[in-house]
Amino acid sequence: MEFQIVLVLGLAVVVGLALGLLGGGGSILMVPLLTYVAGMEPKEAIAASLFVVGVTSLVSVFTHARGGNVRWRTGLVFGAAGMAGAFLGGVAGGYLPGAVLMIAFALMMVATAAAMLRGGRKPPPGGGETETLPLRRVVLDGLAVGAVTGLVGAGGGFLVVPALMLLGGLSMPAAVGTSLLVITMKSFAGLGGYLTTVSVDWALVSAVTALAVAGSLVGSLLTSRVPEAALRKVFGIFVLFMGLFVLAQELPAPYGLLPPVLAALVAALVLGCRLIGEYCPLFPLLRPRT
Three-state secondary-structure class, residue 127: coil
What's residue 147's pLDDT?
83
Q: What is the pLDDT of residues 220-276, one digit of tens each?
A: 777 667 676 776 777 777 777 777 887 777 777 666 667 666 666 666 666 666 566
Determine the residue type at 140.
L
Nearest Cα residue to 11 out of 171, 32, 154: 32
Determine the residue type at 162.
P
Q: What is the CA radius of gyration of the chain?
A: 18
Determine the residue type at 237.
I
What's residue 206's pLDDT?
93
E strands present in 83-152: none
Query: Contact at 8 Å (CB) between 138 and 77?
Result: yes
In which residue ranges of the chain is pLDDT below 70?
Answer: 1, 19, 22-27, 115-116, 118-133, 153-158, 168, 223-224, 226, 228, 231, 253-257, 259-290
Q: Determine if the peptide bond prior to 254 is cis (ω within 30°).
A: yes
Three-state secondary-structure class, residue 223: coil
Nearest Cα residue to 38 out of 71, 75, 84, 3: 3
Q: What share of the chain is helix, strand, coil (3-state, %, to 5)?
A: 80, 0, 20
Q: What is the DSSP letter of 71?
A: -
What's residue 127's pLDDT?
46
Rounding to the nearest 10 degrees, give the CA dihedral for residues 236, 157, 139, 105.
60
CA distance 249 to 44: 18
